[in-house]
Structure 1
Amino acid sequence: MSISKKSAETLTWPEKGESRIPYQVYMDENIYEGEMDKIFRGSTWNYLGLEVEIPNPGDYKTTYVGDTPVVVTRDSNGEIRSFVNRCAHRGATVCMDSCGNTKTFTCVYHAWVYDAQGDLKGVPFKKGVNGQGGMPEGFDQSKLSLQKIKVETYSGIIFGTFDHSMEPLQTYLGDKMCGYLNRIFQKPVKVLGYQRQLMNNNWKLYFENVKDSYHASLLHLFFSTFGVNRLSQKGGIDLDETGRHHVSYTYGSLNEDLEAYKQSDLRSFSSKYTLEDPSLLVGRNEFPDGITLAIQSLFPGMVVQQIHNALAVRHLVPKGIDSCELIWTYLGFEDDDEEMTKIRLKQSNLVGPAGFVSLEDGGIGELVQKGIVGAPHEESFVEMGGTGIESQSFRVTETSIRGFWKHYRHLMGY
């Protein structure tokens, strides 16, 4: 269901602010178009990839900023560059492979050639044939570069922005979020594999879900049944000063108030279930702070996860008002021994499109998308943990969801 342009332009946010979310924002074509312009192509730093994915001059990968296709590459000087994957001539996709190594990029349509910086270097038949045709006098190919994206890196992670006056990346992330990134990217990483997942829901429904820490004990039966994550375990929510970024963290089963959890009579707790292969949850204590589960979201579409020893980056890509794609990049460290790599790969079965845990996350957004049809002027109720936006030393809260909507409203002008 889509809403008319007139209704999008007249959207009035509920008086109760970030604790009430109008369903219209999940189903309006014009709001979606505004998000691509004001958020993803606006004043934000977007996840592009990892330096380890393009280690050598000429290496490249294709990805997205919002729904805009882009190329990320390393030029002959070792500098990381990024540009929109759209020919300046007629708009065709220039780079069609997901990754590779090349000195130049050639559009298959009319063979316009670009270098690793996105500058136009060759136009076939520029002078015409036998003195006929060709480009007009005064044609200046230096003005027809691919649209360039400003790039900065932090802790081996590549970010890009369309706003070339954007504040420095480290300022955008903030000291607190940088600290959590340093915790995971504490030493050189290696990529263990990828998965992609299409979801039939608005991109914001998934990002809300990532920031919703208290659903884990209710929706994810595996989490609670086997003690991977319960709300009775010590943990909390950390927000940056703007509220746009968050971390949810859990310290595991030590000092857990298990009796209180049992007395809650939740369907997600049962002592009768066991794992046929208990080694799935056998790992190593590799983080000295004792945190066994940490989910970090960086506005507008990046997630960094640690679930026991399963490390991954998730990249959320909008595909329309009711569709999005999630790209999982599974990680290990370069100095991992063979046994540690096996542990990470086995525990990666907890997550991903068919993971024991996150299988439900891929479907719950679709249930919401279906449920709100016909109710664009109704709104959600987001008051768990209060109505404020601040870090909290517990996880029965929706504070980080409210933080997301605060920054969203700021950028969108609502």
Structure 2
Amino acid sequence: MYRDPDVYTLEQEKIFQGPVWNYLALEAEIPNVGDFRTIEVGDIPVIVNRARDGKVHAFVNRCAHRGATVQRLIHGNAKSHVCCYHHWGYNLEGNLVGVPFARGVEGKGGLPEDFDKKEHCLRKMRVETLNGVIFGTFAQALEPLEEFLDTTFVNQLKRLFNRPIKILGYQRQRIHGNWKLYTDNLRDPNHGGLLHMFQITFGIARLNQTGGAMVDKKARHNMSWAAQDMGKNNSDAEYSTPRENNNLTLKDGSLLQYRKEFPDAYNLTIASIFPNCIFQQIGNTLAVRQIRTKSVGEFEIFWTFYGYTDDDTSMDQHRLRLSNLVGPGGLVSMEDGEAIEIVHRAIAADEDKHAFVEFGGRGPVGDQDNLVTEAPMRGFWMHYCELMGITPGADAHANA
């Protein structure tokens, strides 16, 4: 399931182009008419932009004529999108509006008389937004976005995007492993207090702290969470003093500081939405991560960091300082990339063998009241198999 190219190819059809809502972008990234960003949904290049009617539209970034990339910039503002190859032009809704020499030159050449621009639009996605977060799907009959997310995750997005936001910056990380090893990692809170040495050293992640995991009704989405231990006399020193007697200290202790900004006690939430995005609150660093597949053995994580428009300069700087915890050189997430790559390499010779995923027990997958669990991983794979047409426990090739 991790290394077979045929499985990867089928995923592009059954998962990313299947009955799922894919995260696309944030409305704050395209505030004005003509603003656009180019992204990927699985292997498919996509343009997300704001049209003249103020609405957000998304469509495949591939010319209907000969398949060239239409918009080659990562972001910008445009009145239309024009392919550089033969200058076919598309409006901000993805409709074909211009074809050079459509009637030929001096009555010679050109397109047939029955050519209809309406039949040669860019492939459009259905788009819905929730509190400024943009999702798109190729499945026109899919359930509405809020029903797909379910109550827990609708509430989490409303919690994180409770007021206008501003974009603070971006990071990209290329990982040489299968993209599902990353979704496994996100649904495995058990590793946080074991793998991440920065967290272990300074006591900001402990398996005995108040925490757990929540899932939706189909267990396809997961939110791992931790909270300031209620009813305990925790001091800042407990989190800033090295757990072991190794004499390690921080020159800037504010890297460990959490400024309470939500009415609840959560100081860490990692909400993973099937299949391709993560909404992150690690202390005061807020970000969206999008998984962008590249091949069966390579993917990219694209981080979008944000704060709130009413943040003062001090809070902006604090959020940016904490962004050092994640990303390709992050004090925390650097190890995630390494762990994924060593797993991907190690299983190459034994592709027919199985992983052992029973922390949290067997049976139905539901909410977890502790961090020593892998149950949400099984929830992801149950839904994955359903979409892929695979019977769990059976031979993948025979069912795929």
> Which TM bucket (shorter chain)?
over 0.9
1:174 aligned onto 2:150: yes
Equivalent pair of 2:203/2:243 in contact (CA under 8 Å): no
4+ long deviations beyond 3 Å? 252-258
Q: Which residue of 2 aligns with 1:149?
A: 125
Greater RCO structure (CA 8 Å; 6+ sep): 1
Equivalent pair of 1:234/1:256 in contact (CA under 8 Å): no
Q: Which residue of 1 aligns with 2:97?
A: 121
1:364 aligned onto 2:339: yes
Give the Cα–Cα distance (whole angstroms) in 2 for the partners of residues 274 and 402 of structure 1: 39
Equivalent pair of 1:195/1:327 in contact (CA under 8 Å): yes
Give the Cα–Cα distance (whole angstroms) in 2 for the partners of residues 192 and 284 of structure 1: 18
Distance 1:205 1:358, change over 3 A: same
Equivalent pair of 1:54/1:74 in contact (CA under 8 Å): yes
Quote the sequence identity (%).
Answer: 48
Give the Cα–Cα distance (whole angstroms) in 2 for the partners of residues 113 and 249 of structure 1: 47
1:101 corresponds, among 77, 81, 96, to: 77
Equivalent pair of 1:232/1:256 in contact (CA under 8 Å): no
1:228 aligned onto 2:204: yes
Tell me the amino acid that sits aligned with residue 358 of structure 1: S
Report the secondary structure of 2:147's partner residue.
helix
Q: Which residue of 1 aligns with 2:16?
A: 40
Q: Which residue of 2 aligns with 1:396?
A: 372
Q: Which residue of 2 aligns with 1:340?
A: 315
Q: Which residue of 2 aligns with 1:51?
A: 27
Shift of 1:276: 2.2
Tell me the amino acid that sits aligned with residue 83 of structure 1: F
Equivalent pair of 1:46/1:302 in contact (CA under 8 Å): yes
TM-score by length of 2: 0.93
- The superposition leaves residues 348-380 of structure 1 with CA deviations (integer Å, 9 ceiling, x where unpaired) of 111111111111011111101100011111010
Shift of 1:283: 3.6
Equivalent pair of 1:227/1:253 in contact (CA under 8 Å): no
Give the Cα–Cα distance (whole angstroms) in 1 for the partners of residues 332 and 326 of structure 2: 6
Aligned length in residues: 382
Equivalent pair of 1:304/1:313 in contact (CA under 8 Å): yes
Report the secondary structure of 1:62's partner residue.
strand
Gaps of 5+ in 2: 235-241, 391-400
1:292 aligned onto 2:267: yes
Give the Cα–Cα distance (whole angstroms) in 2 for the partners of residues 276 and 99 of structure 1: 37
Q: Which residue of 2 aligns with 1:12?
A: none
Tell me the amino acid that sits aligned with residue 346 of structure 1: R
Report the secondary structure of 2:334's partner residue.
coil
TM-score by length of 1: 0.90
Report the secondary structure of 1:37's partner residue.
helix
Shift of 1:237: 0.7
1:201 corresponds, among 177, 180, 201, to: 177
Q: Which residue of 2 aligns with 1:67?
A: 43
Gaps of 5+ in 1: 1-24, 259-267
Give the Cα–Cα distance (whole angstroms) in 2 for the partners of residues 77 and 284 of structure 1: 39
Q: Which residue of 1 aligns with 2:388?
A: 412
Equivalent pair of 1:383/1:398 in contact (CA under 8 Å): yes
2:59 corresponds, among 80, 83, 89, to: 83
Distance 1:289 1:359, change over 3 A: same
Of the structure 1 ranges 283-292 and 52-61, higher mean CA displacement relative to structure 2 is found in 283-292
- The superposition leaves residues 232-274 of structure 1 with CA deviations (integer Å, 9 ceiling, x where unpaired) of 101111011100101111113566799xxxxxxxxx9424322
RMSD value over aligned CA atoms? Answer: 1.6
Tell me the amino acid that sits aligned with residue 123 of structure 1: V
Report the secondary structure of 1:232's partner residue.
coil
Of the structure 1 ranges 376-385 and 245-254, higher mean CA displacement relative to structure 2 is found in 245-254
